[in-house]
Chain A
């Protein structure tokens, strides 16, 4: 038998150095790089480098041999080889000034086709969605680039087109969930087909040149080349899922014949599309309302109310509310505010938006429109203001989306110092201890209660009373709106307390009130009559449902025991560990809360003491004064 030689088997054959791969594929280094990026073949780190490199210990770039063999089958390898031939031949033509031939060759430039690679790398659509983060961020970034060396203008134009198309989808599907303004740029998170897709849009500043020392532009350009194709196909599928026409078009009713449209229709349309302010042409005639979530919830109800299902229900409710967060609101964006992110947010939550027509084409109404409810302003003061609308800073829109409710606008008024902009990516409901200050930031209602409970604040309140009345009114409006939404949801999902028809009637009244303030007076008599009717209706006093705490606790313990018994023996350790972790976390939280309570008490005591001292001193002083007076 032949004695096996060294490095004939095992790790040495599993890996192949880049140089060897080049030789095997008969490509130049640049072509190889391109091929690898397009095909998603990346270098690997071996377990034992010396063995993988056949004895040499310098650090080489290694690939899996299997990967390289897989590349051998790729048809675009031939195209890459054709490039070389093309370059040689066209160079020759140019040199001998055979321009006819050169022209012919240029027309026959071998194009790379990447469709099959997209399919190959992302076998299912969900796979593609999972990898959309990078793609979107890069394309949004490249769409801001001017034509650079190694980055042709067509590429950045294409990036712009594709990203706009994607944004149209996000708006149409109302899938935006979280937004965040960071110093890097705007973070957006959308939920598409159950996948969370996050992307960053750079701030809207003029292009800053980038040194070539840090970033390899060529490599990034290749990534973008692939991602454009991928996003194109993704958009296609997403649009068809919503019955929208792809590439996006306007319904013909939108296009009226005027000077602008007649001059250059294509550019007119593309500008309007870039404005993101119009609905797109649908392939089906009737616009269907979204019904899918209801059905799901009903199905789930049969499974009983386990914790998870309750949580899911709540989540679904919240999202349903979020999707119509800005419904009925009319925004106007001032010229100093970045238009695009705000338009995306407002439109994807059902609001209407417009801007100054000189800023960007596609504005739908003027600043002088009296029905505008909010004007977004980012300057310290404004000369002409309308009474009918709120002048708010852009952060309000972002914070509303993150809190999933309409926040009181008073803190975001024009020229006001803004409350901190919190990251939505940090879970506010996390298990760890959250100090009351942070809690208040997430839930502004807590602040008021906290302030009211304080002893000292009474006096301050009296002073601030006048200011508060304004806030209170605003808050009332908010609460009313929130109440409406909730009742609407209960109608949809069937809340814990069944809603009877009477309440629905009142809802309608509320709606009427909101829609038209002028009509209110006319309808006054009607409402009075209704109220009288309501008084006549009998209401039986409800019984308070008594909860047996002991029984409840017992049931809980029993359930826990049962859960512990159900755990498979091999998972027992894990279960115990989880329980222990939970307990320790709870304990920690309890400790911190206790500590906080102690500190609060101490400070209170100290304050009280100081006050008492002061009172005493005052009393003493008064006594002394009176004595003096007596004397």
Chain B
């Protein structure tokens, strides 16, 4: 309404000239006159009957066009096809030669507000509550199953049955062979069911050693004498080698150093630590006496002797050059002589060369053998090297000879664990004891025993610690 007002406003025009008179709108006057003339021709409507003038309107009354807000209008407008698309609208009157066309349904973008308004769903909170109820019902069932301990892995299919991933995804299985395998793979990946190929190195064996190592026949609960002796011999051999190694280490480390008594050691330590510190008893004057005369000179002096710039004389240089030349000549001569001598011993040289070649060949062979051997050995996977666990053996006196009194020697769990390490499946580790934080303990003052002071307790503790240390420190000589 507000927008229409300016249109009804009378326009003011200048009427200065005669020509400007034409600008005046005389339509209303003309209209009036015309109406009068018409009345004269056909009479006024007071003369006419009502029936002539009015018609009974039998058609249902049309509702007044709804007054839409701008927002609503916009929404309606949004439903209309876009201006830019008007050019694309088919305005042709020619009939479509194709009778039936496939409808291409446009994808909706975003929410369809109108649709939502037209058929509203349940109120959200009501829906949510219903959902939650269902959820908890299901949950309680699941919990009941879990508590009864029946939740076991579901094994109800043969996983090794040959199956194509294309069977599972609808549309990828085509009898006509139109969809290549590559395409199917691609599609599967994009659908979210990616087919992952395991690479071959995952199945490679890291060691050539046999998986199952037969137990030594001497490990029988009732072994034959020969087998048992063999096993014992093996154990002894291994133990001996261990002892030998240990002894070697001891010889190379501990016994290499001279040993002293603790008293001597303490004394030495004291001496070493107090090196350069003046002792109380000795007079300080001795040092001072030595230092004094130098400081008295007040001149700069160093410990090292002064550097001299010794120059060789020209004659000496010449002599040196000559010597060098002579040396070179001598060497050349010697080489020539050797060459001629070699001509004579060409046979032995050939032998030498051959020997060398043989040696190299041998070395190559040995290296190859070592590499081959290494394939059977345990790999070094971590910081610690794998060490073969001890052999399990019953000592002769433990052999009962019947099943009732068998003495089990090994621990199967440890055995398996070591086997996994041996087969390069686990890195060898050493269990680390977690260090406990050092906590200083002392009695609370409120719990102090009468007559025992904190000082006294501390002294006692210190004395005990010192005694313990003294005990542990004694070294045999």
Which chain A residues have a beta carbon within 8 Å of chain B's beta carbons? 40-45, 58-61, 64, 66-67, 70, 73, 103-104, 106-107, 114-115, 118-125, 128, 130, 133-134, 137-138, 141, 154, 158, 180-185, 187, 196, 198, 200, 202-203, 205, 208, 210, 212-216, 219-220, 223, 228-229, 232-233, 235-237, 240, 246, 336-338, 378-379, 393-395, 417-418, 420-423, 425-426, 437-438, 441
Contacts and interface: CB of A to CB of B under 8 A. Distances in A.
Given A141-B416, A183-B221, A232-B155, A394 B379 contact: no
A133 B222 contact: no
A128 B202 contact: no
B426 A420 contact: no
Given A187-B215, A423-B214, A423-B220, A220 B139 contact: no
Contacts of B143: 103, 106-107
A516 B202 CA distance: 61
Nearest to B219: A182
Given A45-B380, A183-B221, 11 more contacts: A43-B382, A61-B427, A70-B196, A120-B198, A141-B416, A180-B215, A184-B219, A187-B215, A214-B431, A378-B403, A394-B403
A365 B407 CA distance: 32
Contacts of B224: 420, 422, 438, 441
A395 B403 contact: yes
Contact of B158 (A202, A220, A240, A338): A240
A210 B220 contact: no
Contacts of A107: 139, 142-143, 146
B221 A181 contact: yes
Contacts of A337: 403
Interface string B102-126: 0000000000000000000000000
B431 A42 contact: no
B433 to A, nearest CB: 8
A104 B140 CA distance: 9
B217 A237 contact: no
A61 B155 CA distance: 36
Contacts of B420: 134, 223
A203 B416 contact: no
A82 B380 CA distance: 34
Contact of A420 (B142, B220, B403, B407): B220
Contacts, number: 201
A437 B142 CA distance: 66
B426 A219 contact: yes
B411 A210 contact: yes
24 contacts: A42-B206, A43-B427, A45-B379, A45-B424, A61-B382, A104-B136, A119-B159, A119-B160, A134-B419, A138-B416, A181-B406, A183-B392, A184-B392, A184-B408, A198-B212, A203-B406, A205-B408, A216-B429, A220-B413, A236-B155, A379-B404, A393-B402, A421-B220, A423-B219
Given A118-B159, A395-B403, A418-B222, A66 B199 contact: yes
Given A158-B152, A423-B214, A183 B407 contact: yes
Question: Shortest 3 CB-CB distances between A and B: which pairs?
Answer: A425-B214, A420-B224, A423-B217
B153 to A, nearest CB: 6
Contacts of A183: 219-221, 392-394, 406-410
Q: Which of A41, A42, A208, A246 counts the most B-chain CB atoms under 10 A from its CB?
A: A42
A184 B415 contact: yes
A424 to B, nearest CB: 9
Contacts of B417: 214-216, 219-220
Nearest to A230: B159
A122 to B, nearest CB: 8
Q: Which of B142, B383, B411, B414 counts the most A-chain CB atoms under 10 A from its CB?
A: B411
Contact of A216 (B196, B226, B431): B431
Interface in B347-388: 379-383
Contacts of B413: 141, 210, 215, 220
A115 B159 contact: yes
Given A103-B143, A107-B139, A214 B414 contact: yes
Contacts of A216: 417, 429, 431
A43 B202 CA distance: 11
B223 A420 contact: yes
B76 to A, nearest CB: 47
B55 interface: no
Interface in B78-92: none
Contacts of B217: 422-423, 425-426
Contacts of A114: 153
Contact of A59 (B206, B383, B425): B383
B355 to A, nearest CB: 24
B107 to A, nearest CB: 30
A378 B152 contact: no
A207 to B, nearest CB: 11
Nearest to B382: A61
B194 interface: yes
B59 interface: no
Contact of B220 (A133, A180, A202, A237): A180
Contacts of B416: 134, 137-138, 141, 220
B381 A45 contact: yes
Q: Which of B383, B393, B427 counts the most A-chain CB atoms under 10 A from its CB?
A: B427
A107 B136 CA distance: 10
A405 to B, nearest CB: 19
Contacts of A235: 155
B405 to A, nearest CB: 9
Interface string B140-152: 0011001001001
B124 to A, nearest CB: 21
Contacts of B408: 183-185, 202-203, 205
A509 B224 CA distance: 41
Contacts of A378: 402-404
Given A184-B215, A232-B153, A338 B403 contact: yes
A418 B220 CA distance: 13
Given A182-B220, A213-B431, A70 B225 contact: no
Contacts of B427: 43, 61
Nearest to A200: B412
A233 B159 contact: yes
A43 B412 contact: no
A85 to B, nearest CB: 19
B202 A40 contact: yes
Contact of A42 (B136, B225, B425): B425
Q: Which of B136, B146, B404 counts the most A-chain CB atoms under 10 A from its CB?
A: B404
A70 B199 contact: yes
Nearest to B194: A73
A233 B158 CA distance: 7
B467 interface: no
